[in-house]
Every structure is written in C-alpha cells, then in structure tokens.
Amino acid sequence: MVQIDLSKVVKEPLELKFSEGDTFVIPTEPNLEMTYQMADFEGKMNDAKTSRDKLDLFVEATLLILKQDKSKKIDDKFVKENLSLKQMEQVFQIYQNQIMENHDNPN
C-alpha cells in the first residue's frame, strides 16, 4: 500500500501580532468556504460605492480572517477599536497574497 502524507503539503500558519496580548495564529491554507468568502469580499470591495462601504467591508473581512484563530473570541467592535485602517488593509492583503502564493505553488 502506498501512503501519502498530505499533512506535509499544508503550510505553516501565519502569526499576526498587533500588540503584546493581541496575536492571532491563522491558517495559510483556508478551506474552500473561506476562499469563496474572500473572493466575494474582493468583488464587493471593487463594487463599493462609498468610502464608508469600503471601510465596513475591511472590518468584515478582517474579522473573518482573524476569527480563524479559534482561541480568540472577537467581534467587529474589537476590530474597530483595536486596529487601524492600515492594519486592516495589511491583514487582508497579506492573507490574499498567501492564498495566491499557495495556489501558485506546485508543492
């Protein structure tokens, strides 16, 4: 019997640190549902009519990404009160880049 260990193809998780107590560990290879949701956010951001709509989408996307760390209990209030817009943009961009890198990596 040939055994293939697929756990070896899963990348190490990302550790996102915002302050001493606010470190989130998130998977770099999301499940299919998460990938769909991230693709939907990209489309919604492109279609956003106002800056406020875009800001609300950044909060929602950031929350979705960070909630993958099951050891943390956070909500949109946490994101709005503890993260800057720049940090939210970076979380989204870093995560999107990681998804694309994983997709393009033949291993």
For the record, the structure tokens of 90 come out as 């970076």
Predicted local confidence at residue 9, as pLDDT: 67
- Angle made by CA atoms 77, 81, 82, in degrees to the nearest 5: 115
> Which residues have a Cβ under 8 Å from the Cβ of 71 and sit 6 or more positions away?
25
The pLDDT tens digits of the residues spanning 12-22 come to 788 999 887 78
The pLDDT tens digits of the residues spanning 25-80 come to 998 788 888 888 988 988 998 899 999 999 999 999 999 999 999 999 999 999 99
CB 35, CB 98: distance < 8 Å: no
Q: What is the mean pLDDT of residues 81-95?
A: 91
Predicted local confidence at residue 70, as pLDDT: 92
The reported pTM is: 0.82
